[in-house]
Amino acid sequence: MAQYAVVIYSPAPADPMDLTPDYVALLERYPAQVAELGGQIVTGYALQPSTTATAVRGDLVTDGPFIEAKEVVAGFFVLEAPDLDAAVQIAKLNPATIHGGVEVRPLFEPPAE
């Protein structure tokens, strides 16, 4: 099966300690919904709040995220799905789409030699 990165965007600062019990319940149900659509979450990670980020641009190092934005990257997971259409359908069910959004991007596979 093809693999896709699903990048999760949430309102800044996207602190995972601020998740409500109702939202956590939605997250706990999500893997079963993914399986129902023929997918599987390979691995996933929540990120620390955007206030803990350090941006590096050449020799310049600054506190804070790479860009100032209302929504920031809150986490990501690797999804196995039959194809992009299935991956998008799975992403639409992610609870992050309620107050933020998700981005689905195929993982790069080098061409066979």
Tokens 């050449």, located at residue: 58
- pLDDT for 108 equals 96
Mean pLDDT by 10 residues, the chain (113 residues): 96 94 96 97 96 90 81 96 97 95 96 88
Which one, of 65, 50, 67, lies nearest residue 14 by Cα?
50
Contact between 104 and 4 (Cβ < 8 Å): yes
Which CATH number is 2-106's, of 3.30.70.1060, 3.90.480.20, 3.40.50.300, 2.60.200.20?
3.30.70.1060
So what's the pLDDT on residue 44?
97
User: pTM of whole model > 0.75?
Assistant: yes
The number of beta carbons lying within 10 Å of the beta carbon of residue 23 is: 14
Q: What pLDDT does 67 receive?
A: 76
End-to-end CA distance of the chain, in Å? Answer: 20
Would you list the domain boundaries of the chain? 2-106
Q: State the pLDDT at residue 62.
A: 87
